[in-house]
Amino acid sequence: MLSKKVEAALNKQIELEAASSNYYLSMASWAETQGLNGVANFLYGHSDEERMHSMKLIRFVNERGGHGLVPALKAPPAKYKSVNEVFETVLHHEEKVSQSINELVDLCLKEKDYSTHNFLQWYVTEQIEEEALARTSVDKLKFMGGEKAALYFFDRDMAAHATAAATSSTPKGME
Ligand code: OFO
């Protein structure tokens, strides 16, 4: 059984993950309109992953006798100045999500909710990967210094990331 405090915090996390999904969907759509199909495919895939993160939380809350709530979401920005802005936003957003997961883990310890604490470890690991990928992308874009030719290769790189994610089996913890 979840305490009311933990249930409320998990529902806040459900909202944050769902907002991430919408955010990345909007970025993907913008990238596609710029002819950056590799970046777009990567972000479409990332958006799907965030939806799964949200749904996994909803199902966990319900399984533990709470009620996972579907949030009303604010529309994300539709336009971006550059690919650099997109990936800087992704990094900033993932850092925020990591902080939120850490606070949740901390709350579980205070509430002595070891089952939820254990469940959240999957998210802790996931955030390490997500932050690292976003940080590497930001660094690469900085290194390119706005070169159009380099952007072509960056786009191809992101396409490879998107393909790898799509062809890998069910993400760990989602089975
Ligand atoms: Fe759900 O990991 Fe990113 O936000």
In sequence order, what DSSP letters do the residues of 4-64 get, joined into one string? Answer: HHHHHHHHHHHHHHHHHHHHHHHHHHHHHHTT-HHHHHHHHHHHHHHHHHHHHHHHHHHHT
Cα pseudo-dihedral 97, 57, 128, 5, rounded to 10: 60
- pLDDT value, residue 163: 66
Q: Does ligand 1 lie within 6 Å of residue 17's CB atom?
A: yes
For residue 138, how far is its CA from the centre of ligand 1 (angstroms)?
Answer: 17
Instruction: Name the residue with tokens 């290769």.
Output: 153
pLDDT exceeds 90 at position 36: yes
pLDDT at 108: 98
| Any atom of ligand 1 within 6 Å of the Cβ of 24 | no
* Over residues 91-118, mean pLDDT: 97
Q: What is the average pLDDT score of the chain?
A: 92
Domains of the chain: 4-166 (1.20.1260.10)
Question: Which protein residue has the closest C-alpha to ligand 1 atom 1?
Answer: 50
Q: What token pair was written down for 149?
A: 């030719």
Q: What is the pLDDT of residues 49-76, one digit of tens each?
A: 999 999 999 999 999 999 999 999 999 9
Is the model's pLDDT at 29 over the cut of 70? yes
Residue 20 is predicted with a pLDDT of 97
Contacts of 11 by beta carbon, 8 Å cutoff, 6+ apart = 61, 68, 69, 71
Please name the residues in contact with 110: beta carbons below 8 A apart, sequence gap of 6 or more.
none
Dist. CA 81–CA 135, nearest whole Å:
19
DSSP string, 62-94: HHTTS-PPPPP-PPPP---S-HHHHHHHHHHHH
21 CB under 6 A from ligand 1? Answer: no
Q: Which atom of ligand 1 is nearest to 127's Cα? A: 2
Predicted pLDDT at 166: 67
Write the pLDDT tens digit of every residue in 149-168.
Answer: 889 889 998 988 876 666 65
Distance of CA 149 from the midpoint of ligand 1 (Å): 30
C-beta of 97 in contact with ligand 1 (< 6 A): yes
CB 6 within 8 A of CB 56: no
- Among 139, 25, 27, smallest CA distance to 80 is for 27
> How do residues 113-153 score in pLDDT, each as one tens digit?
999 999 999 999 999 999 999 999 999 999 888 788 889 88
Per-residue pLDDT band for 27 (boundaries 50, 70, 90) equals: very high
**pTM score, whole prediction:** 0.90
